[in-house]
Chains A and B, each alone.
Chain A
């Protein structure tokens, strides 16, 4: 059984935010209102966070992309009163939109703040509403959503492999953000497969995880800036 994970190389990441846009298009995440009336509410599943080091003349600000960490021990799933979020056998933390009651306990319990709430019925300005991705459901008002590692793509890749009567190949299933990254700073695959690109990269000395000390065991691995 695979254990899907992502590696993000901060040395090659340029902070261009292509991943953010690709994710929003792929996953039908609506853009913010043009008039700015929903201040502090718009979100994207993939987000560029500012990383400001120590305050010193040499300090440099960096941006780093932050999807859902798909923790192996996720703090969000245990607090959901209705089991609307859980972790599947391949380590993907799922969200069941039709069951979610919108209590937002998971959004407050996630230390990475990757979970988002639909404050209203999502809407797209014309003609964007005609270009929604049919593989991803549009979430109704009042439920929580978050990055899924594009698990609909896993379905597609698996179906293709099944038709061709073969195993899934490394790199065949990748989320939209990884696929689009122009500087090829992101890698995705099976962390348990020692030959996969993502497993090799996540075992270098540059590898670290966000808020590792919390013991959530994130499956998104960052690669520190090289020398």
Chain B
């Protein structure tokens, strides 16, 4: 049945995914669901047999699960933070990408927090963090910060959705009860718009320090211990930079997929990719600066316990991973994003992918080597993720993609009203704003 989408003209393309599904969609859902099913089976196995089904051992007590935790929380900085910064800066090119970014944040946070539950020896006692909270523990700072961040990001995603939900309620003719409940009686009056703008601005400002705090306390889980190459004052900002870095990379990749799958070339244009690519390049250089600072201070301090881990990363068993990380996070972005020779979309997407591979490896080479080389002369730790850990990781990624996919089928992934607002108001507003930056043209010079 061909729905009548004329109510959404000229942005019908944004609503089409809500009413039309094709075979490709169902195949993708089936694939993702089966990957999740494998993960679920593995989790049952882990619940039944304990963490012996993983590859973790003495003394490598943390592995892929904790790596994933840091990675997913890092990705979550894609959305809210980038979207909030662009909104506050009144960057007009943001209009079509903010929602795609905000959805990443909310969806991936579930899997970041889930990774911690997955890693617990006794998930049945997870509530003890509330019943017997020890606020001295950085892990509890994480619980607090991530809860606040998830709540804030949900509100920040929901607020700009309201006008679009109301439009769907009035014009889509499907799932009316669902949209009516979520639209909260939005009529689009002048007063409602004023209130909404105000609320979005306030949330955009509130969410910034929260987002910074989240990855800072994630890094403090490591930095607050005395373990070599974890106990580092630079870790807070280093992790925040890494998080924004991988977040931008993820956003670029998601934009490219949406653009290709739903034919939204008109909304995700080259300019968005180019600008995000420049942001990615900036973060790549910042990341390199932080990595260099971290390693060169370790090297010159030359404390033996630190140097054992330093060399394990630089030239030891973790060297292949370490240098892959440097290539993925720095070399490739530097080559692809500083030259105009490469096609914009393709090169930013490739850089976004290599950055995320590199950043996953970065987290792995932070977590594992420090544990595998304890200070006391125990035998050297050997760690290889088991099938269960790999399957759970795949299932978490699949779950994240599935939630994202379902969102794009229930709500427009580009904010229709913000695009419309841009068309109707911003062009004039921006030219007035630019004029206001310039000196007034007075008649005084006529006197000469």
Contact = CB atoms under 8 A, between A and B. Distances in A.
Contact of A111 (B129, B138, B224, B226): B226
Interface in B29-62: 49-52, 56-59, 61-62
Contact of A107 (B61, B134, B377): B61
A105 B221 contact: yes
Given A113-B374, A121-B50, A83 B134 contact: yes
A40 B123 CA distance: 24
Interface in A104-119: 104-105, 107-109, 111-113, 116-119
Main secondary structure of the interface of A (DSSP, over half): loop
A118 B56 CA distance: 11
Contacts of B120: 101-103, 142
Interface stretch (A45-53, A126-134, A192-200): A45-53
Contact of B121 (A80, A117, A216): A117
Given A80-B137, A81-B143, A108-B62, A103 B50 contact: no
A84 interface: yes
A99 B121 contact: no
B6 interface: no
A10 B431 CA distance: 82
A83 B132 contact: yes
Interface residues of A, number: 46
Contacts of B57: 39-41, 119
A104 B121 contact: yes
Interface in B329-344: none
Contact of A82 (B59, B119, B133, B381): B133
Nearest to A86: B134
A215 B375 CA distance: 15
B119 to A, nearest CB: 7
Nearest to B47: A142
A117 B51 contact: yes
B279 interface: no
Contact of B61 (A42, A51, A75, A104): A104
B298 interface: no
A119 B140 CA distance: 24
A79 B376 contact: no
A66 to B, nearest CB: 7
B226 A82 contact: no
Interface string A180-215: 000000000000000000000000000000110010
A216 B375 CA distance: 14
Given A81-B129, A112-B375, 17 more contacts: A39-B57, A40-B381, A41-B58, A43-B58, A50-B377, A66-B376, A79-B224, A84-B132, A100-B121, A102-B122, A103-B116, A103-B121, A108-B227, A113-B378, A142-B50, A142-B51, A211-B376
Given A80-B134, A108-B225, A101 B122 contact: yes
A143 interface: yes
A50 B379 CA distance: 9
Contact of A116 (B52, B58, B116, B377): B58
Contacts of A210: 376
A120 interface: yes
B371 interface: yes
26 contacts: A40-B381, A41-B57, A41-B58, A42-B58, A49-B376, A78-B136, A79-B137, A79-B139, A79-B225, A81-B140, A81-B143, A82-B125, A82-B131, A82-B132, A83-B132, A100-B122, A101-B123, A101-B125, A102-B51, A102-B122, A103-B120, A113-B375, A119-B50, A119-B51, A119-B57, A211-B376
Contact of A79 (B62, B138, B143): B138
A90 interface: no
B125 A111 contact: no
A136 interface: no
B47 to A, nearest CB: 10
B22 interface: no
A75 B225 contact: yes
Interface in A9-34: none
Contacts of A214: 226
B303 to A, nearest CB: 10
Q: Across the A-B interface, give the 8 residue pairs with the lowest CB-CB distance, nearest first.
A: A102-B121, A142-B121, A40-B57, A141-B50, A119-B52, A81-B139, A83-B134, A82-B128
Contacts of B129: 81-82, 101
B257 interface: no
A99 B129 CA distance: 10
A99 B52 contact: no
B346 interface: no
A214 B305 CA distance: 12
Nearest to A78: B136
B121 A81 contact: no
B377 A143 contact: no
Contacts of B58: 40-43, 113, 116-117
A214 B375 CA distance: 11
A141 B47 CA distance: 10
A177 to B, nearest CB: 18
Contacts of A118: 50, 121
Contacts of B122: 100-102, 142-143
Contacts of B226: 75, 109, 111, 214, 216
B61 to A, nearest CB: 4
Interface in A71-100: 75, 78-84, 99-100
A38 interface: yes
Given A38-B52, A41-B52, A117-B51, A81 B134 contact: yes
Nearest to B379: A40
Taking each of B122, B129, B225, B374, which has the highest tally of chain A beta carbons within 10 Å of its own beta carbon?
A: B122
B184 interface: no
B121 A143 contact: yes
A82 B120 CA distance: 13
A112 B374 CA distance: 8
Taking each of A102, A103, A144, A211, which has the highest tally of chain B beta carbons within 10 Å of its own beta carbon?
A: A103
A113 B50 contact: no
Nearest to B222: A108
Contact of B227 (A40, A103, A111, A143): A111
Contacts of B119: 103-104
